[in-house]
Amino acid sequence: MSRLLDKRLLFVTGKGGVGKSTITAALALKAARDGKRTLVCEVRSHERISALLGQPPVGPEIKRLEPNLDAVDIETSAAFREYALMKLKFQAVYKVVFENRLMKYALRAIPSIAEIVTLGKIVYHLGEKQNGRNRWDLILVDAPATGHALTLLRTPQTILDSVPAGAMADEMQHILDVFRDPKESGVVLVTLPEEMPVNETIELDRELARTVPLERSAVVLNGDLPFRFAPLELEAMQARRNDPALRPGIEAAEAYQRRSDLAAKYVEKLRAEVKQPLARVPFRFVRTFDRAVVESISYDLAVVA
């Protein structure tokens, strides 16, 4: 398997609330630090990447965040306008065709139009050239949460099965060809060491294997709680548990140990059910979750990136 960041297109997804935007931002920092010209695309979300990196919102136009790192928030109507202008070439024609009330209503009724436009824009940027070479070495997609991500990634095959030969079928086939190349693209699954996120990750891995021709490239266990205390240390704490001065600290240590034991159980379950490389990102006990924290997480990901 090639290194994760040697691919050119990576989707990052997982159950809502597991920290996939944080992991996307950390991967983006590592890629940029490694000298890769990187574009981060946020999809169907409130912008979070720019804030995590201490930058103002970027909006639907590509903006530079720092050297080697740009970002864009893919908003469907703006992406559709950009896509239509690419095809029609002239803004006046676009306005006549698409900016009338009846056409806007008709477009909203087309199934999967948001997914088609979103994937079309991402794959367009993948093929962009600048000074004779790829404009981007890597595109990272902060994809929607599990269910919506599956819908998004299944769209090319669904459309291809539904439309006759023609321009739309050709575009969907091109996206599927990109998906099918494991050197070109993959998906990163993000989870937490908890029952529901782990179960959902296992189910997502199976559904992707069954319905989407994308390599599941890695799993990131975010908020991990590694062992901190040796058995002898735990025994020593237990022996002094009745000391009033030490008791609060000992209870905190025991609570941590219980959660750590639970995390270890879910790591074991993930390793048994999901065969992709696993990166464990320790929980950060910090008052402020800022760019410095994201930067530190980017180093934790070196094991898969």
3-class secondary structure, 121: helix
Residue 108, token pair as written in the block: 């909203």
Q: Could you give the CA distance from residue 185 to residue 6 in angstroms, rounded to a whole number?
A: 9
What pLDDT does residue 92 have? Answer: 58
What pLDDT does residue 1 have? Answer: 42
3-class secondary structure, 217: strand
What pLDDT does residue 111 have? Answer: 61
φ/ψ bin of 112: left (φ > 0), alpha (ψ from -120 to 50), beta (otherwise): left
Torsion of CA 255, 257, 259, 264, to 10 degrees: -170
Those residues whose C-beta lies under 8 Å from the C-beta of residue 31, and which sit 6 or more positions away, are 5, 38, 68, 69, 137, 138, 140, 305
pLDDT by position in tens, the chain (length 305): 458 999 999 999 999 999 999 999 999 999 999 999 999 999 966 889 999 999 999 998 999 999 999 999 998 777 777 766 666 555 555 565 556 665 565 556 556 778 888 999 999 999 999 999 999 999 999 999 999 999 999 999 998 998 888 888 998 999 999 999 999 999 999 999 999 999 999 999 999 999 999 999 999 999 999 988 888 998 898 889 889 999 999 999 999 999 999 999 999 999 999 999 999 999 999 999 999 999 999 999 987 76
